[in-house]
């Protein structure tokens, strides 16, 4: 277990080596191999750690070194391994190695090749630190680290103004969330006297909603603000779609599979604290379901392939929040796990399309690519099935678990609101299926036509003859004329692994996931039992007691709640299968069979389409309501600073000069003068001393 | 064994240094030019050997670090850097070049080499002896052994009129200052009738602090103020620093200052009193206090020294003069740290002002040395180039040197993560704990003012256009290495200075506390905070 503490440090070492590779042109191409080897080694170490940490073994803390000990504040570089950590490590290092593998081919020939892998290595370091830290400060450290890497990679093509702006936007929007997160950490220290998980959880074990202090009940609200920022939820989701300015592997790794799920991880990790507050989880669920619906609506009418996946990511993250919000950590984390596979797959295949079309992303400018890129086509098809929740794919299992748990909780708690959220989730599932296959049919089916993009990802993708060649040199001469398939070993093979995960990740991991998550701090089972214990004392009527019992069981095995006379989970499963199939069918009708109908519908509902195409005008709204007033205020402050503050500073700065001019005359350069000065000074001091002595001071 | 024997055993590193210095004198005048060139090597070897011997003596035995062993160690380590900075200096002089140019007509009268390195070692020996002083006479002799060679070293460039002027000024004013503190020592002897530190302390414990004794202490403090360039003894600083060759200036900024501060700590321990009180939380604290008059004198000196240093620094355009006044200002900060001695609590590192001063001496030496070493790489018409304008465009011509200059100045300003910041925190927090909040505010404001002239140097390096100037860059390897070592150490100790802080605390604690009283307190209250460690230190230091 001791060796597991090196999981973050190997990628960091690789990042440093890549940094060195930046300096020398001939070394540049090694960067991807170094980082790939390190991340894969970390994955190996994670597997080893996973063999030690089982649902029965409990949590293990591995001490690395003392970091801060100040007063009673203690934060060490220690790593906390429980089953949740292991799941996250699998996702981060596993998906991470596949994406790095792919990126090695994708980024080939880019002039910032080593810089890219430097940032990716640093990202894996930060992300693994984030999930492994044994205290909130280390979580925060990793949190900010991944934020930094995200910023660096969004602005990777720094010659493009839009990329720079997107990087800044992501950074600033995240600051708002981080403010809440930081305050949450402070408050945690104030309330619990510690920021170490083990310490906090040992205290929460003896607390419930009634014995918790007000401060403790505020903590979840602050923490969730941070989670909403990092995981792109309403109202802080605006940065994620713009973040697609970065290279596509980054979109896949950071902005779909790993970093953006940090918020979900944090809430799952801090679940015992969230359970202390009556309404915090409901708030999380509400924001999650609303975001899922909202982003799904926007995704319906987007034409940019990566933006569709971006809004889809926001929407799927909303599902995860809905999951943890209805105390179904298993559902939330499970969806996080499966989503990582299929969304990374979707982004990377989108990247392949973009690569093949030299930067073209608008799906109106492409169609029928199935023949040109058969492997990519079917890989994306698998991803689409999983995202749409097609029965027996990975997304189907996890999404159903969330929706079923949400519905069950709504019914057993007699909570109408949560039932509404669950229904909205089911509606979102329908939309998801529609927009997913709308994209796939548009891009790969129908008559073959394409307009090549005018720029490349990276302006000299195929430019340097010496830099490139091993990746896809064979089609270099004709790539400007037609799309081409990607090289298999360098780019398509890692995608196959992802595809396997997207198909089989659901039914293979279903039970494993349940036992793993329930054995971690994210578990809601134990605490639910405690709720029963306390609630029974207060239960006066029979109905209340039944409800409470049912509630206690939702986290456990059987489900007594029923919908339409069926077990809730079964009913929801059937409904969402219908929704998914209906969505796919509708997409097939409009975008495969009768495309002219889709155009007609678009004309009929021009207003709605316009609204959705422009993303509800949210960016513009933020701009007028927040950004502009702030800028105006900044200008005012600038003027104030120039006139008033600067004036005062100039005045203060003048005083020492004045003093200097006065004292300067003592410095004549004449020896006698210096001697006199010394003696006079001594005399003054002696006068002072004698006066003090005589006055008995 | 007799007391004399013990004492001699203790000063073996100094004896090594003296032997080495004598060897330098002889080698420097050897008939063969080849062997004469080895003088530097002899000096370096002597220093390294003395340093290793001292380290071995301290670490091998059960002894903890003491003020003496720490001073010796610091002098040896920084001395090696200073020596590599100064190496080659005497050979460059026109006079000695002439004397050396004809091998058959070797003129020993005009060659500086042997004397220079010998005086260098003699002066360092003086500082080393200061640290171990336990007698007023010893302390006086050690201080003078530090200073006398420096008078000659300042005038090394005998063909340069400015250097001669500086040497004369430095000598006369130094003599005046020596008279003042010798008078102070005489008054202390007059008040107590003894010269041994322990005996003086015992005597004062019986009679209490008499006015005569206080006057003696005050005169000593003011007189020793010359070594550290504190008000009112700071007048010479700018002229002497400017006139002396740059490596010697760097030497002056560290060696006499260290001797001065070590002596000040020793003089202050004569008047300090070991007390104990109930701390908060319920823990018995052993602490020391200084008489009000002494505190007042130090307060005034500290406030005026740093203010005058910084204000005058603002006026200068000559980098050597800027750094001279900065040296004055830094003495002011260290006097603030020295005030932190009062109410120093046993076992609490952050309250030990004397340790802060010892730490800061190293911090200051590193930054200062790096700045001077970069400066020494510039030449104008074969002469030292020292104007701000001479630095213009350095970053474009030698980015590495400019970066080192930047780091050095950042450390001198006291910005994190440089060691200057750590040192200031150490000293000022001790002073705050001792209750000198007002003085610390003055010190912090002064640090802010000082940033102006340090940044002016950086500004010249980075943002001024080189005006086709006649400044030549002669980055000799040893000077670049010294600058590099200074800057790197300044960063390293800024990040990982904890060990050094621990050692300085250990080194000073035994001198500050009165062993008898600590033991007595421990007998009555065995749980007293930090007392055990302190008593152990004292025990080990007075075997």
Q: Does B177 touch chain A (CB under 8 A)?
A: yes
Please report whether residue B490 resides in a domain. Answer: yes
Among the listed residues A243, A248, A266, the one whose alpha carbon sits nearest the alpha carbon of residue A133: A266
What does the DSSP assignment read for A176-223? HHHHHHHHHHHHHHHHHS--BHHHHHHHHTT--TTTS-HHHHHHHHHH
Distance from CA of B271 to the nearest CA of A (A): 15
Dist CA A403 CA A582 (whole Å): 18
Which residue in A has a C-alpha nearest to residue B209's C-alpha? A693
Distance from CA of B291 to the nearest CA of A (A): 10
**DSSP, res B476:** -
What does the DSSP assignment read for A1-36? -GGGGGTTHHHHHHHHHHHHHHH-GGGTTHHHHHHH
Average the pLDDT over B209-226 and give the result: 93
Among the listed residues A209, A193, A360, A384, the one whose alpha carbon sits nearest the alpha carbon of residue A280: A209
Q: Does B218 touch chain A (CB under 8 A)?
A: yes
Please report whether residue B365 resides in a domain. Answer: yes
Structural domain of B401: 287-514
Among the listed residues B237, B127, B250, the one whose alpha carbon sits nearest the alpha carbon of residue B177: B237
CB A448 within 8 A of CB A369: yes
Structure tokens at A331: 């559902």
Which residue in B has a C-alpha nearest to residue A666's C-alpha? B235
**Residue numbers of A between 287 and 306 with CB closer than 8 Å to B:** none
Among the listed residues B37, B42, B12, the one whose alpha carbon sits nearest the alpha carbon of residue B24: B42
Which site among A649, A665, A676, A678 would you substitute to test the B interface, given the most B Cβ atoms closer than 10 Å to its Cβ?
A678
Q: Would the pLDDT of A564 be above 70?
A: yes
Nearest to B235 among A656, A660, A678 (CB): A678
Instruction: Give the max Cα distance, chain A.
Output: 110
Q: Would the pLDDT of A94 be above 80?
A: yes
Q: Does B222 touch chain A (CB under 8 A)?
A: yes
Residue A571: pLDDT band by 50, 70, 90 thresholds?
confident
B168 interaction partners in chain A (CB closer than 8 Å): 671
A656 interaction partners in chain B (CB closer than 8 Å): 310-311, 314, 449
Within 13 A of B25's CA, how many CA atoms are on the CB side? 10
Q: Does B311 touch chain A (CB under 8 A)?
A: yes
- What are the φ/ψ torsions at residue A62 (nearest 5 degrees)? -110, 120
**DSSP, res A625:** I
B122 vs B17, B20, B38, B117, B258, CA distance in Å?
A: 7, 9, 18, 9, 15
Rg (CA), chain B: 23
- Cβ of B169 and A674 within 8 Å? yes
Nearest to B315 among A664, A684, A697 (CB): A664
- Cβ of B232 and A693 within 8 Å? no
CB A79 within 8 A of CB A132: yes
B318 interaction partners in chain A (CB closer than 8 Å): none
CB B374 within 8 A of CB B326: no
Question: Edge-to-edge strand order for the sheet containing B378-380?
Answer: B383-384, B378-380, B471-473
Supply the pLDDT for residue A536: 43
Average the pLDDT over A162-180 and give the result: 89
Supply the pLDDT for residue B183: 95
pLDDT per residue over A152-165, tens digit each? Answer: 999 888 888 889 88
pLDDT per residue over A510-537, tens digit each? Answer: 888 888 888 887 777 654 444 444 444 4
Residue B205: pLDDT band by 50, 70, 90 thresholds?
confident
Domain count, chain B: 1
Please report whether residue B162 resides in a domain. Answer: no
Q: Does B448 touch chain A (CB under 8 A)?
A: no
Supply the pLDDT for residue A560: 58
B239 interaction partners in chain A (CB closer than 8 Å): 669
Q: Would the pLDDT of B110 be above 80?
A: no
Among the listed residues A319, A327, A317, A297, the one whose alpha carbon sits nearest the alpha carbon of residue A525: A327
Average the pLDDT over A144-173 and give the result: 89
Please report whether residue B246 resides in a domain. Answer: no
Please report whether residue B262 resides in a domain. Answer: no
Residue B469: pLDDT band by 50, 70, 90 thresholds?
low
pLDDT per residue over B153-196, tens digit each? Answer: 998 877 778 888 889 999 999 999 999 999 999 999 999 999 99
β-pairing verdict for A366-367 and B471-473: unpaired
Q: Does B236 touch chain A (CB under 8 A)?
A: yes
Supply the pLDDT for residue A50: 87
Q: Would the pLDDT of B88 be above 80?
A: no
A318 vs A130, A336, A417, B142, CA distance in Å?
A: 21, 11, 16, 77
- Cβ of A688 and B311 within 8 Å? no
CB A579 within 8 A of CB A400: no
- Cβ of A660 and B315 within 8 Å? yes
B226 interaction partners in chain A (CB closer than 8 Å): 678
Calculate the CA dihedral of residues B353, B355, B359, B364 and round it to 10 degrees. Answer: 40
Q: Does A65 touch chain B (CB under 8 A)?
A: no
Dist CA B4 CA A403 (whole Å): 90
Annotate A228-260 with b (16+ C-beta within 10 A) or e (fewer).
bbbbbbbebbbbbbbbbbbbbbbbbbbbbbbbb
Please report whether residue B444 resides in a domain. Answer: yes
Nearest to B222 among A671, A685, A693 (CB): A685
Contacts for A226 with CB less than 8 Å, ≥ 6 apart: A143, A177, A178, A180, A181, A182, A184, A263, A266
Q: Would the pLDDT of A15 be above 50?
A: yes
A661 interaction partners in chain B (CB closer than 8 Å): 315
- Cβ of A686 and B301 within 8 Å? no
Distance from CA of A674 to the nearest CA of B (A): 6
Supply the pLDDT for residue A289: 93
Kind and range of the H or E run holding B249: helix B246-271
Which site among B305, B315, B425, B442 would you substitute to test the A interface, given the most A Cβ atoms closer than 10 Å to its Cβ?
B315
pLDDT per residue over B414-445, tens digit each? Answer: 988 889 998 998 899 899 988 899 999 999 99
- Cβ of B296 and A671 within 8 Å? no
Q: Which ranges in B67-210 belong to alpha helices (H)?
A: 67-86, 89-92, 94-101, 113-131, 136-154, 161-192, 197-207
Please report whether residue B470 resides in a domain. Answer: yes
Angle at alpha carbon of residue A369, lines to A366 and A373, rounded to 5°: 135
Residue A479: pLDDT band by 50, 70, 90 thresholds?
very low
Which residue in A has a C-alpha nearest to residue B220's C-alpha? A682
Within 13 A of A580's CA, how many CA atoms are on the CB side? 21
pLDDT per residue over B20-35, tens digit each? Answer: 999 999 988 887 878 8
Angle at alpha carbon of residue B378, lines to B377 and B381, rounded to 5°: 135
Q: Does A3 touch chain B (CB under 8 A)?
A: no
Which range (A293-302, B79-88, B149-158, B511-520) has the least confidence? B511-520
Please report the number of interchain residue pairs, chain A to chain B, with beta-carbon separation below 8 angstroms.
Answer: 85
A686 vs A219, B181, B212, CA distance in Å?
A: 62, 13, 12
- Cβ of A689 and B232 within 8 Å? no
Average the pLDDT over A199-218 and give the result: 85
Is the bond leading into B40 cis (omega within 30 degrees of zero)? Answer: no
More confident residue, A397 or A357: A397
Among the listed residues A231, A562, A202, A638, the one whose alpha carbon sits nearest the alpha carbon of residue A410: A562
Dist CA B89 CA B101 (whole Å): 16
Among the listed residues A286, A332, A309, the one whose alpha carbon sits nearest the alpha carbon of residue A240: A309
Q: Does A681 touch chain B (CB under 8 A)?
A: yes
What average pLDDT is seen over chain B?
87
pLDDT per residue over A637-662, tens digit each? Answer: 888 888 888 888 788 778 777 877 77
Q: Does B111 touch chain A (CB under 8 A)?
A: no
CB A326 within 8 A of CB A281: yes
Average the pLDDT over B486-504 and give the result: 88
Q: Would the pLDDT of B197 be above 50?
A: yes
Average the pLDDT over A306-329 and give the result: 91
Supply the pLDDT for residue B542: 64
Dist CA A675 CA B22 (whole Å): 34
B301 interaction partners in chain A (CB closer than 8 Å): 685
- Cβ of B300 and A685 within 8 Å? yes
Nearest to B235 among A664, A674, A684 (CB): A674
Q: Would the pLDDT of A552 be above 70?
A: no
Please report whether residue B367 resides in a domain. Answer: yes
Dist CA B277 CA B288 (whole Å): 10
Residue A424: pLDDT band by 50, 70, 90 thresholds?
very high
Supply the pLDDT for residue A541: 41
Task: Give the residue carrying structure tokens 């250990």.
Answer: B506
- Cβ of B314 and A657 within 8 Å? yes
Residue B10: pLDDT band by 50, 70, 90 thresholds?
confident
Angle at alpha carbon of residue A28, lines to A23 and A33, rounded to 5°: 130
What does the DSSP assignment read for A404-460? HHHHHHHHHTT-HHHHHHHHHHHHHHHHHHHHHHHHHHHHHSSS-EE---SS-SSTT
Kind and range of the H or E run holding B297: helix B292-315
Compute the residue count for chain B: 543
Q: Would the pLDDT of B281 be above 80?
A: no
B296 interaction partners in chain A (CB closer than 8 Å): 688-689, 692, 697
Among the listed residues A11, A248, A231, the one whose alpha carbon sits nearest the alpha carbon of residue A119: A11
Dist CA A549 CA A555 (whole Å): 11
Which range (A84-88, A341-345, A600-604, B379-383) has the least confidence? B379-383
More confident residue, A76 or B240: B240
Dist CA A326 CA A363 (whole Å): 37
- Percentage of the residues of chain B whose pLDDT score is greater than 90: 48
A684 interaction partners in chain B (CB closer than 8 Å): 232
C-alpha B65, offset from chain centre: 18
Q: Would the pLDDT of A295 be above 50?
A: yes
Structure tokens at B363: 């911090």
Distance from CA of A632 to the nearest CA of B (A): 32
Supply the pLDDT for residue B543: 54
Nearest to B176 among A660, A667, A675 (CB): A675
CB A339 within 8 A of CB A316: yes
A671 interaction partners in chain B (CB closer than 8 Å): 168-169, 172-173
Q: Does B451 touch chain A (CB under 8 A)?
A: no
Angle at alpha carbon of residue A394, lines to A392 and A396, rounded to 5°: 60
Contacts for B530 with CB less than 8 Å, ≥ 6 apart: B285, B286, B345, B346, B347, B348
The pTM of the full predicted model, rounded to 2 decimals, is 0.67
Residue A481: pLDDT band by 50, 70, 90 thresholds?
low
Task: Give the residue carrying structure tokens 């989880």.
Answer: A281
Assign A253 to helix, strand or coil.
Answer: helix
Instruction: Tell me the torsion sign for CA atoms B292, B295, B296, B297.
Output: positive
- Cβ of A689 and B236 within 8 Å? no
Residue A458: pLDDT band by 50, 70, 90 thresholds?
very low
Residue A256: pLDDT band by 50, 70, 90 thresholds?
confident
pLDDT per residue over B302-352, tens digit each? Answer: 999 999 999 888 888 899 999 999 999 999 999 999 998 887 777 776 778
Supply the pLDDT for residue B282: 63
Among the listed residues A5, A54, A11, A52, the one whose alpha carbon sits nearest the alpha carbon of residue A34: A11
**DSSP, res B277:** E
Distance from CA of B129 to the nearest CA of A (A): 27
Dist CA A265 CA A269 (whole Å): 6
pLDDT per residue over A114-128, tens digit each? Answer: 889 999 999 999 999
Q: Does A671 touch chain B (CB under 8 A)?
A: yes
């Amino acid at each position: 277990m001791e060796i597991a503490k090196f999981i973050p440090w190997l990628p960091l070492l690789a990042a440093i080596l890549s940094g060195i590779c930046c300096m020398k042109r001939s070394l540049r191409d090694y960067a991807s191999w170094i980082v790939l080897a390190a991340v894969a080694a970390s994955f190996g170490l994670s597997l080893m750690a996973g063999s030690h940490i089982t649902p029965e073994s409990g949590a293990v803390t591995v001490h690395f070194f003392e970091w801060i000990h100040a007063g009673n504040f203690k934060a060490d570089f220690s790593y906390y391994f429980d089953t949740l950590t292991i799941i996250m490590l699998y996702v981060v290092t596993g998906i991470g190695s596949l994406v790095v593998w792919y990126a090695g081919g994708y980024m080939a020939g880019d002039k910032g090749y080593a810089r890219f892998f430097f940032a990716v290595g640093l990202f894996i370091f930060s992300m693994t630190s984030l999930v492994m830290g044994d205290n909130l400060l280390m979580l925060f450290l990793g949190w900010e680290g991944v934020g930094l890497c995200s910023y660096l990679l969004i602005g990777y093509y720094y010659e493009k103004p839009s990329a720079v702006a997107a990087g800044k936007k992501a950074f600033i929007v995240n600051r708002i969330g981080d403010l809440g997160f930081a305050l949450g950490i402070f408050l945690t220290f104030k309330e619990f006297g510690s920021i170490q998980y083990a310490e906090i959880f040992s205290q929460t074990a003896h607390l419930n909603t009634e014995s918790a202090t007000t401060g403790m009940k505020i903590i979840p609200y602050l923490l969730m603000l941070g989670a909403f920022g990092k995981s792109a939820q309403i109202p802080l989701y605006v940065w994620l779609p713009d973040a697609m300015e970065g290279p596509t592997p980054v979109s896949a790794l950071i902005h779909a599979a790993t970093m953006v799920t940090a918020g979900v991880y944090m809430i799952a990790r801090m679940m015992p604290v969230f359970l202390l507050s009556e309404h915090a989880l409901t708030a999380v669920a509400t924001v999650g379901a609303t975001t899922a619906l909202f982003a799904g609506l926007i995704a319906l009418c987007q034409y940019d392939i990566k933006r569709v996946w971006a809004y889809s990511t926001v929407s799927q993250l909303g599902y995860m929040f809905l999951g943890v919000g209805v105390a179904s950590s298993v559902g939330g984390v499970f969806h996080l796990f499966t989503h990582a596979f299929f969304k990374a797959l979707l982004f990377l295949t989108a990247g392949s399309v973009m690569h093949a079309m030299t930067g073209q992303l608008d799906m109106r400018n492409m169609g029928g690519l199935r023949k040109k890129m058969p492997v990519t086509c079917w890989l994306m098809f698998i991803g689409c099935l999983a995202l749409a929740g097609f029965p027996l794919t990975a997304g189907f299992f996890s999404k159903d678990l969330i929706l079923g748990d949400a519905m069950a909780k709504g019914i057993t708690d007699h909570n109408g609101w949560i039932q509404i959220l669950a229904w909205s989730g089911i509606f979102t599932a329908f939309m998801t299926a529609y927009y997913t296959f709308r994209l796939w049919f548009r891009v790969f089916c129908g008559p073959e036509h394409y307009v090549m993009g005018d720029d490349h990802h990276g302006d000299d993708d195929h430019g340097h003859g010496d830099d490139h060649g091993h990746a896809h040199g064979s089609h270099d001469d004709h790539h400007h004329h037609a799309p081409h398939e990607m090289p298999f070993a360098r780019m398509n093979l890692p995608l196959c692994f992802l595809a396997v995960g997207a198909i089989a990740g659901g039914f293979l991991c279903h039970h494993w996931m349940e036992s793993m998550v329930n054995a971690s701090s994210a578990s809601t089972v134990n605490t639910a039992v405690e709720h029963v214990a306390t609630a029974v004392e207060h239960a006066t009527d029979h109905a209340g007691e039944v409800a409470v019992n049912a509630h206690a069981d939702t986290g456990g095995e059987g489900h007594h709640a029923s919908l339409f006379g069926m077990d809730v989970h079964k009913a929801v499963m059937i409904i969402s299968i219908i929704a998914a199939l209906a969505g796919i069918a509708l997409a097939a009708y409009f975008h495969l069979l009768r495309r002219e109908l889709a155009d007609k519908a678009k004309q009929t509902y021009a207003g709605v389409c316009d609204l959705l195409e422009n993303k509800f005008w949210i960016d513009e709204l933020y701009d007028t309501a927040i950004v502009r007033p702030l800028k105006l205020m900044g200008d005012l402050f600038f003027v104030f600073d120039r006139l008033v503050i600067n004036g005062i500073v100039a005045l203060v700065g003048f005083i020492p000069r004045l003093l200097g001019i006065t004292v300067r005359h003592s410095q004549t350069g004449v020896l006698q003068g210096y001697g006199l000065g010394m003696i006079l000074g001594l005399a003054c001091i002696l006068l002072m001393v004698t006066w003090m002595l005589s006055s008995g001071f | 064994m007799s007391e004399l024997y013990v004492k001699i055993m203790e000063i073996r590193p100094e004896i090594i240094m003296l032997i080495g210095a004598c060897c330098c004198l002889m080698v420097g005048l050897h008939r063969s030019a080849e062997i004469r060139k080895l003088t530097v090597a002899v000096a370096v070897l002597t220093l390294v050997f003395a340093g290793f011997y001292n380290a071995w003596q301290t670490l091998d035995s059960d002894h903890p670090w003491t003020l003496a062993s720490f001073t010796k160690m610091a002098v040896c380590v920084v001395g090696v850097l200073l020596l590599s900075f100064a190496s080659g200096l005497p050979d460059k002089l026109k006079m000695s070049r002439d004397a050396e140019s004809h091998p058959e007509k070797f003129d020993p009268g005009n060659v500086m080499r042997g004397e220079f390195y010998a005086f260098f070692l003699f002066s360092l020996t003086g500082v080393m002896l200061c640290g171990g002083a336990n007698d007023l006479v010893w302390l006086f002799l050690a201080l003078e052994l530090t200073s006398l060679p420096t008078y000659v070293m300042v005038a090394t460039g005998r063909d340069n009129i400015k250097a001669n002027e500086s040497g004369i000024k430095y000598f006369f004013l130094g003599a005046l200052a020596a008279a003042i503190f010798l008078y102070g020592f005489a008054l202390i002897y007059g008040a107590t009738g003894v010269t041994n530190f322990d005996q003086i302390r015992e005597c004062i414990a019986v009679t209490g602090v008499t006015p005569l004794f206080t006057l003696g202490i005050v005169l000593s403090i003011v007189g020793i103020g010359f070594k550290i360039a504190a008000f009112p003894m700071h007048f010479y600083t700018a002229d002497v620093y400017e006139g002396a060759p740059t490596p010697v200036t760097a030497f002056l900024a560290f060696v006499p200052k260290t001797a001065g501060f070590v002596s000040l700590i020793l003089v202050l321990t004569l008047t300090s009193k070991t007390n104990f009180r109930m701390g908060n939380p319920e823990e018995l604290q052993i602490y020391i206090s200084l008489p009000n008059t002494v505190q007042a004198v130090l307060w005034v000196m500290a406030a005026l020294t740093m203010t005058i240093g910084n204000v005058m620094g603002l006026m200068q355009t000559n980098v050597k003069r800027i750094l001279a006044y900065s040296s004055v200002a830094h003495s002011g900060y260290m006097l603030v740290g020295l005030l932190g001695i009062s109410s120093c609590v046993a076992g609490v590192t952050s309250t030990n002002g004397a340790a802060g001063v010892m730490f800061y001496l190293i911090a200051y030496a590193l930054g200062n040395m790096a700045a001077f070493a970069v400066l020494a790489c510039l030449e104008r018409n074969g002469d030292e180039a020292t104007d701000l304008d001479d630095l213009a465009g350095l970053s474009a011509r030698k980015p590495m040197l400019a970066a080192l200059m930047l780091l050095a100045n950042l450390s001198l300003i006291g910005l994190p993560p440089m060691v200057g910041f750590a040192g200031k925190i150490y000293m000022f927090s001790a002073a705050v704990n001792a209750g000198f909040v007002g003085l610390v505010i003055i010190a912090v404001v002064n640090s802010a003012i000082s940033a102006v002239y340090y940044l002016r140097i950086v500004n010249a390096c980075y943002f001024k256009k080189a005006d086709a100037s006649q400044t030549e860059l002669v980055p000799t390897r040893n000077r670049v290495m010294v600058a590099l070592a200074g800057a790197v150490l300044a960063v390293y100790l800024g990040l990982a200075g904890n060990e050094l802080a621990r050692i300085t605390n250990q080194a000073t604690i035994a001198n500050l506390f009165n062993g008898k009283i600590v033991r007595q307190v421990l007998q009555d209250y065995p749980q007293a905070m930090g007392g055990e460690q302190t008593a152990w230190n004292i025990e080990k230091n007075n075997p």
